[in-house]
Homo-oligomer: A and B are copies of this chain.
């Protein structure tokens, strides 16, 4: 059994405490695809890689478990959660429901400042659509949705949405966008921003719902044909 070395090499000083820091790093590793679904997460191994003891690692795994990113059985430890096709449909239905509601709420609550930020995000998004910098595209998309989520002004709703979208697949799904799909996504952002500016809750909700469902379609399309791209590439020191 070869220990997987290198995943956490050169990690930052581990947050305000070891436990939450470990949770952040492991979460990132899962969302970023450095560890593959189904892979076992051994406490001792993670502890050594992170340079801490098993105790904070256990706590980190527990948090990730309640977040739904890892599964655990008694006395058998944690594994990275697998996601199946049927579950994916549920997930996007939920996301459409929740983010649609967020858009509706935002329409009557958003301030000029946030609207300005959305416009700017759209502009940046447009320049990225044709390019190859997928990481920035993903980040820009996340920023756009997060801004609306904050404008919806409901901590509870925001928490639920973040829970639903915190999956490796969702996180990196732009990788699979065709130019046409990316352009459609950009169009959605523009339309949504306009609806929010007009203070139109119904339209905002309906656009957001469709926007989310289309993202789900892209994903389902790629899940149906090829299996997930399991990145097992290791960073050589």
Contacts and interface: CB of A to CB of B under 8 A. Distances in A.
List the number of copies, as a whole number.
Answer: 2
A87 interface: yes
A154 interface: yes
A97 interface: yes
Interface of A: 16-17, 55, 58-59, 62-63, 66-68, 74, 87, 90-91, 93-94, 97-98, 101, 154-157, 159-160, 163-164
A155 B59 contact: no
A172 to B, nearest CB: 20
Given A16-B74, A94-B160, A155 B67 contact: no
Nearest to A163: B160
Contacts of A62: 59, 62-63
A157 B94 contact: yes
Given A94-B101, A160-B160, 15 more contacts: A16-B74, A17-B74, A58-B59, A59-B59, A62-B63, A66-B66, A87-B156, A90-B154, A90-B155, A90-B156, A91-B156, A94-B156, A97-B98, A97-B101, A156-B164
A69 B101 CA distance: 24
19 contacts: A16-B74, A17-B74, A59-B62, A62-B63, A63-B66, A66-B67, A87-B156, A90-B156, A90-B157, A91-B156, A93-B101, A93-B154, A94-B101, A94-B154, A94-B156, A94-B160, A97-B97, A156-B164, A160-B160
